[in-house]
Amino acid sequence: MSNQNEYGSLLDTFTALDCYNLPMPVVPPADLTIAAGDIASAFLSVRNSAASRVVGFDPNDNPYLRSVGLSSNYADGLVDASTLHQGGSTPSWRLQVIPVRMGTPIGMNSLGVQVGLCNIALNAVTSVVPGTNFFTQFAAKGMKISWHDANSVLRTATILTVTDDDNLVLTANIATTVMFTGASNNVVLVPFDILGASAGLSLPVPIMNTQFSFNSFLLAPGTVTPPQGKITATAGSAAIVGVGTSFKTDFAALGTCINPIIAWTDDLGVRRTGAVSSVTDNNNLTLTAVVVAGGTGTGVAMLDIDTSIRVLISWPAAFSAYTISIDPAYGQNNRRLSIHAIAEIEHTFPLVKTVFQ
């Protein structure tokens, strides 16, 4: 990390580790194709220890991408097999670089202690500690959530229904094959919103183990700001009415958030959460579901739930490569192929969020 330039900014090299890390699927020199759905998305992180990694930027930051690349333990043994890198329907060796805003982990109490853990089996999510009452406080229909499974692989999903305090249903079953075989027991769920036009930048990487310069803001300055004004939320209604609010700025100005999250403390002092379906004007919006019984808040301030900005690496197309002729044993006896993404990012504030999975 360096802050020696004239702007006093920080420059870090980030990695999205082990997006693919499985036994080599072919025996070299056979051609190799890995389906996009078999490669895991991952947050770019600074590897700071064997047990944890720093993944979050300060919500006030405006991270600036300086370079991007791919690396593999197979070194120069993977040769780009793309028929194209720009345009078309099936580009290979491309990275989707997506800034996301992360909310308060679901089930964290007012003291910052994680009291709610979850067990996920296909599309059913249950509280590991029944009676903690956190789904009706922290979750909402349409909210996107993320977690790391037992193999430290990032998972994401969307909530279909909040059944009760201890149960919710996802819009689809979670994957259970290829990179996604790790159990999702005792996991921490973190809500997030996608930011960036057209889901971020889609960047070609034509050569392995080389970083290519690419200068662009990942997030414009001032994109994420604390919500202003006070709101009234009424149990049984999906309408939120604001006074002194800027809903079009806080929830709709970018036009790129997917069901952005709004939170408040109800009249009984209980945290409540909703996902925004549509914004009518600066003082009126509609949630994806009605406010739960007891969730009425009259003239209450919205909660600032942004904890960090993270940068998500995803794979928009299959990874196709030629392999060079080496010892055929490399494709046998569970010898592994691992693929990672690398990026240099310049930023202003120290990194703020660490995950321990």
Residue 1 confidence (pLDDT)? 43
Residue 123 confidence (pLDDT)? 94
**How many domains, the chain?**
3
**pLDDT per residue rounded down to tens, the chain (357 residues):** 445 555 678 999 999 999 999 998 888 888 889 999 999 999 999 977 777 788 899 988 889 999 999 999 887 788 888 777 766 556 678 899 999 988 888 877 666 677 778 899 999 999 887 666 689 999 999 999 999 999 999 999 999 999 998 999 999 999 999 999 999 998 989 998 887 555 578 888 888 888 899 898 888 777 788 888 999 999 999 999 999 998 888 886 555 556 688 999 999 999 999 999 889 999 999 999 999 999 999 999 999 888 889 999 999 888 988 888 777 666 666 788 999 999 999 999 999 877 754
Q: Which residues of 136-170 are buried (b: 16+ CB within 10 A; e: fewer)?
A: bbbbbbbbbbbbbbeebbbbbbebeebeebbebeb
Residue 7 confidence (pLDDT)? 61
What are the distances in angstroms from CA 95 to CA 9, 44, 112, 139, 269?
A: 25, 12, 35, 30, 44
Residue 323 confidence (pLDDT)? 86
Contacting residues for 102 by C-beta, under 8 A, at least 6 apart = 56, 146, 190, 191, 192, 306, 307, 308, 309, 310, 353
Q: Are both 213 and 313 inside the same structural domain?
A: yes
Q: Are both 135 and 16 inside the same structural domain?
A: no
Give the closest residue to 162 by CA, choosing from 190, 107, 124. 124
Structural domain for 172, as ranges: 106-188
Q: Are both 204 and 245 inside the same structural domain?
A: no
Q: Are both 15 and 91 inside the same structural domain?
A: yes
User: Measured between alpha carbons, how far apart are the two ends of the chain, in Å?
Assistant: 23
Does residue 183 belong to any structural domain of this protein?
yes
Does residue 276 belong to any structural domain of this protein?
yes
Does residue 165 belong to any structural domain of this protein?
yes
Give the closest residue to 34 by CA, choosing from 45, 23, 48, 44. 23
Residue 272 confidence (pLDDT)? 93
